[in-house]
Structure formats: structure tokens, C-alpha cells
Amino acid sequence: MERIKLLLVDDHPVVRAGLRGMLEGQGDFEIVGEAENGAQGVELAAKLNPRVVLMDLRMPNTDGVRATEKIHKTLKDVAVLVLTTYDSDADILRAIEAGATGYLLKDSPREELFRAIRAAARGEAVLSPTVATRLMGRMRTSGEENLSAREMDVLKLVRTGASNKEIAKQLHISEATVKTHLLHAFAKLGVDDRTAAVTVALERGMLRLEN
């Protein structure tokens, strides 16, 4: 079994040590490096080519959002999974728009973190249930709960079993754009994965079985 290479980016050594100890207990994870700030994270990501970067948000010398944006633009095969204590709407949306594959809070259950890392390694977008609920509330408050036409296009293809790569090819957009559309759809539907998004969209009549 090929192990998932991980890079930890967090300015707190105790947090990095805790993550390392927890993640190394999983046979399919391999910690290839640690960075104490965003700039170092970008540098090590380019050097070590991890599959997934676990990225804190608020750090000195380039924060997590800017680091995510730089990695997203230059390292197309590297997924950035934000892992932070901050759950404000602004933080979440900034990270997603910067190209983060997913967004989890540090108090998430360990099994949820493991699942999210594996999903990110497969190229799937993921939000923790708490974050999805927050964003759904924001979307409803702002009257944006309806899915956009492009989000619907993506969900229809997800329902057929198409991968992000296949969806990107069919819609003539990048894989990163597919992930962004999925994360927005997750937020609006109040879900945290592809299967749940399709299920809820069908239940609400947004998708039909013949789509």
C-alpha cells in the first residue's frame, strides 16, 4: 500500500508533535516534514512534494491562506487541508477561495481527521460537519442557499460517479475549480462529502434521478 506523504505546517511545536504522534500511528500516513510558518511550508512543499499539506491559518511570516494560495498555484498535485482553531466565515471562505481542498477544526475527532486526509489525498473536497453547518447558516442568511448553475453541473457529474479529473475535463475547467464548486455546494447543502451532497440535492428536488 502506498503511504500518503504529509507535511505539517503549524507555528506551535506542541501541536506539530501531537499531530505527528497521532498520524504516525496510521499505517498509510508518512510525515515527510514540518514547517513553523507559511513561507517555510511553501518551500518544503516544493522540495518534499507531499500529497497532503496540513495547514494552520494564522502564522507569522506568511499566513496559511497566502501559503495555501502559493502551493495551489505552483504545485497542482499537492492538496492543502486547513486544520485550524478558527471557524469564522471569513477565515473559511478565504481558505477555500485560496485553493484549500478542505477545512477542519483542530477539535475534530481523530477519525474525522483521518478520513479527511484520505479524501484529500484522493483529490476530494472535504469540510468538517461543524464548518459545513456554519457555512450553510451563512449562505441561508445571505440568501445564497441555491446552488449555482455550475455547482449543479458539477453535482450532476458527481452523481454519475465521475472523478474530479473527469468532471474538469467534461466542463473544461481545472480540477481546483471543481473542488471549489464542490466546497461551495457542501456549504450550501450543509454536508461534508460528495455522497451526502448528491443525496441532499436529490431529496430537495435540485437533482432528479434522470439527471
Tell me: the pLDDT tens digits for 7-41? 999 999 999 999 999 999 999 999 999 999 999 99
Count of domains for the chain: 2
88, pLDDT greater than 80: no
Q: Of the candidates 89, 123, 157, which is a domain's last residue?
A: 123
Predicted confidence (pLDDT) per residue in 144-160, tens digit: 467 888 999 999 999 99
pTM strictly above 0.85 = no
- CATH number, domain containing residue 165: 1.10.10.10
Q: Residue 204: left if φ>0, alpha if ψ -120 to 50, beta else—which one?
A: alpha
Instruction: State which residues form the domain around 96.
Output: 4-123
Q: Verify that 17 and 111 share a domain, yes or no.
A: yes
Asked if residue 115 is part of any domain, the answer here is: yes
User: Could you tell me if 104 and 20 lie in one domain?
Assistant: yes
The answer on pLDDT for 89 being more than 80 is no
Q: Are residues 91 and 156 in the same domain?
A: no
3-class SS at 34? strand
pLDDT in tens, 111-145: 999 999 999 999 888 888 777 766 656 555 544 46
Please report, for the chain, how many H helices and E strands are present, in that order. 10, 6
pLDDT of 211 > 60? The answer is no
Residue 69, domain member (yes or no): yes
- The residue among 165 and 128 whose pLDDT is bigger is 165
- Give the helix/strand (H/E) hosting 55: strand 52-55
Same domain, 28 and 114: yes
CA dist., res. 131 & res. 57, Å (int): 15
